[in-house]
Amino acid sequence: MLHELHNDYFLFPGREFTVYGLRFADNDVWFLLHNPTGYLQEVSSIFFDVVDRRVSGHWVFRSEGLGARLFPPDLMDDPYFIDALGDLEPSYVHKWATLQKMLDGEALSAVPFLPEEP
């Protein structure tokens, strides 16, 4: 859940997002979000309070120099995926719709939340 107003138009306090990937870089954690314009966009985690600490079972890990990524395999293995989706290329729009449905379903599943930290 967003806790501060950010200058991007789709980020408002109190709004909840599904995080579609994580990138660890530049001493920060970046959340991969799907914004209302149809683009996948990385946003610094400092703007959010995490309300569900589970991570996706569909993500894969890749080390990248001093950082790392946890993304779904299609996004990890295809360096053009995010740009092609933004360009609304039909095969990528279809792949994304399938991925998004799977990840949203997982996020909304009845799997219990992890216990609160002390």
Inside any domain, residue 64 = yes
CA distance 6 to 33: 14
pTM tops 0.85, yes or no: no
Phi, psi for 86 (deg, rounded to 5): -60, -30
Instruction: For residue 21, give both structure tokens.
Output: 């990937």
Query: Are 23 and 40 in contact, with CB atoms under 8 Å apart?
Result: no
Structural domains counted in the chain:
1
Is 68 within a domain?
yes
Residue numbers of the domain that contains 54: 21-107
pLDDT in 10s for each residue of the chain, 118 residues: 444 444 445 677 777 888 999 999 989 999 999 887 778 889 899 888 888 888 888 899 999 888 999 999 888 889 889 889 888 899 999 999 999 999 998 888 765 555 555 5
Question: Would you state the structure tokens that stand for residue 83, as one six-digit string?
Answer: 């740009």
| Residue 99 forms part of a structural domain | yes
88 in a structural domain: yes
Assess if residue 7 is contained within a domain: no
Q: What kind and span of H or E run contains 77?
A: helix 73-77
